[in-house]
Structure 1
Amino acid sequence: MKVFFWNSRGAGGPSFMAAMKDFRKKHNSEIMVIAETRTSEANAIRQLRKLCLHDRCICNHPEGRAGDIWLCWTDKVPISEPLFISKQDIHVLVSEPNPDQWLLSGVYASPQYLRRILLWEEFQNITGEWSGPWMAVGDLNSITTSSEKCGGSRTFPSLASNEFKETIAQCNFLDLGFSGSNFTWTNSQFGGGYIAERLDRALANGD
């Protein structure tokens, strides 16, 4: 089963939807987690209808918008009603062809440190309640090593990175790795002001 994450970085317009449609066709993705759409509910439904996904999509609704997270799937994927939705994540159960179920968490972690702490606490609570396979995918807005950042302050390790790594350890998560650029976000500046970080990732437990 293929899970696809796309961070639109606020570019939720026609060009983004066209690119997503092409990617879905090329890679035959069955589950899609999309972050930072920053679009209205009416526009979200209109765009999803173009992908024939408007009736198989869960959005969170922070602060009156259609949602910083969309979790969409094809009609071939058995997905439960959301177990929990917050401003930073959506949790669902996915049923594979075999009897086992696994937990999928679509994440857009807050850029604000104190709000991210609430997310890490939530993840640690899930660990005590869920013992099966678990994947968390999205924009975690955190780094684990100095190699995941280029430019800006080089102070490392930071309190934020240490708490993120502690959460990964307590949840028994493994980083599923990546291909392509080492960095998934930049501040789009040049010269001495340039900063790039690896903020988007997929984590899964050993199951």
Structure 2
Amino acid sequence: MIQEYDIGVLCLLETHISGDRALGVARRISLDKSFMMHANGQVGGIWCMLNSQLWQLEVMEHSSQYIHLKILKGALSWFCIFVYASPRTQGRVALWGDLRRLAGQINGPWHLMGEFNAVLRQHERVGGSVNACIRGDNAFKDFVNRYHLMDLGYTGAPFTWHRGNVFERLDRSLASYEWRILFPNAALNHLNPLKSDHAPILLRL
């Protein structure tokens, strides 16, 4: 996939592994630099990997639910937050608080990308219990609206996750107005799922 799509920065979420096993897997991926938030047992995990000949990343802050980066590519620079939101509504409360704090500190173009475990619009979820998800969805919507973030949209299948008869668009990219001006042609693709219940998402600048 890295060669097929000419990927320069790769973020893997919910890796479920840590320690020597994680390092062994990372070494087999053809990107030469990495920053890894290891899984806690079988829970979570965020890996950020890159081709350092083309990209430079500075890790600003991190937690079990995000990695906040400054990205440099040639003469361009911007901020990126890779997100793996807890599947539990209560577990995401701390994440929204951290993201609000970071949004208040960022000075420049920024975007977020990853698995938010919530949807912005009703049609982004089919099946399952709607009422059980409303609280978590509203907290996500409030964050997006407060900071006037733009959903980059997508091409491909409408959902990025499914289990049984439940289909949801849990993975996306959001951007500030300044970031969208910097990358007016940026587009997000929903790729075909591999060995996962999530579909990979590909951001082309």
Same fold (TM over 0.5): yes
Instruction: For residue 201 of structure 1, give the secondary structure of its aligned residue in structure 2.
Output: strand
CA drift of 1:125 comes to 1.0
Q: Are the equivalent residues in 1 in contact too, given 2:89–2:135 (CA < 8 A)?
A: no
Q: What CA deviation, in whole Å up to 9, does each residue of 1:24-83 have, x standing for no partner?
A: 101111111110111232122222212243x51111134257961101110220111x21
CA drift of 1:156 comes to 9.2
Q: Decide which of 94, 117, 127 is 1:151's aligned counterpart.
A: 127
List alignment gaps of at least 5 residues for structure 1: 1-22
Q: Decide which of 169, 183, 189 is 2:145's aligned counterpart.
A: 169
Query: Which aligned runs of 4 or more in structure 1 are off by greater than 6 angstroms?
Result: none
Given the alignment of the two structures, is residue 27 of structure 1 paired with residue 8 of structure 2, yes or no?
Answer: no
Q: Are the equivalent residues in 2 in contact too, given 1:184–1:198 (CA < 8 A)?
A: yes
Q: Decide which of 43, 48, 53 is 2:21's aligned counterpart.
A: 43
CA drift of 1:124 comes to 1.1
How many residue pairs end up in the alignment? Answer: 177
Task: Give the root-mean-square deviation of aligned CA atoms.
Answer: 2.0
Query: Which AA in structure 2 matches 1:59?
Result: M
Q: What CA deviation, in whole Å up to 9, does each residue of 1:161-182 have, x standing for no partner?
A: 1211110112221111112111
Q: Are the equivalent residues in 2 in contact too, given 1:83–1:93 (CA < 8 A)?
A: yes
The CA distance in 2 between the partners of 1:156 and 1:62, in whole Å, is 26
- Larger mean CA deviation between 132-141 and 147-156 belongs to 147-156
Percent same amino acid among aligned pairs? 29
Shift in alpha-carbon separation, 1:61–1:206, aligned structure 2, 3 A: same
Q: Decide which of 177, 195, 201 is 2:166's aligned counterpart.
A: 195
Shift in alpha-carbon separation, 1:195–1:203, aligned structure 2, 3 A: same
What residue is the counterpart of 1:91 in the other structure?
68
Given the alignment of the two structures, is residue 71 of structure 1 paired with residue 37 of structure 2, yes or no?
Answer: no
Richer in strand (by share): 2
The CA distance in 1 between the partners of 2:132 and 2:157, in whole Å, is 21
The CA distance in 2 between the partners of 1:48 and 1:61, in whole Å, is 11
Shift in alpha-carbon separation, 1:157–1:79, aligned structure 2, 3 A: closer
What residue is the counterpart of 1:14 in the other structure?
none
The CA distance in 2 between the partners of 1:118 and 1:84, in whole Å, is 15
Shift in alpha-carbon separation, 1:126–1:197, aligned structure 2, 3 A: same
What residue is the counterpart of 1:12 in the other structure?
none
Given the alignment of the two structures, is residue 181 of structure 1 paired with residue 152 of structure 2, yes or no?
Answer: no
Q: Decide which of 176, 184, 195 is 1:205's aligned counterpart.
A: 176
Q: Are the equivalent residues in 2 in contact too, given 1:60–1:66 (CA < 8 A)?
A: no
Q: Are the equivalent residues in 1 in contact too, given 2:2–2:30 (CA < 8 A)?
A: no
The CA distance in 2 between the partners of 1:31 and 1:66, in whole Å, is 23
Q: Are the equivalent residues in 1 in contact too, given 2:14–2:39 (CA < 8 A)?
A: no
The CA distance in 1 between the partners of 2:9 and 2:170, in whole Å, is 20
Give the TM-score taking structure 2 as reference length: 0.79
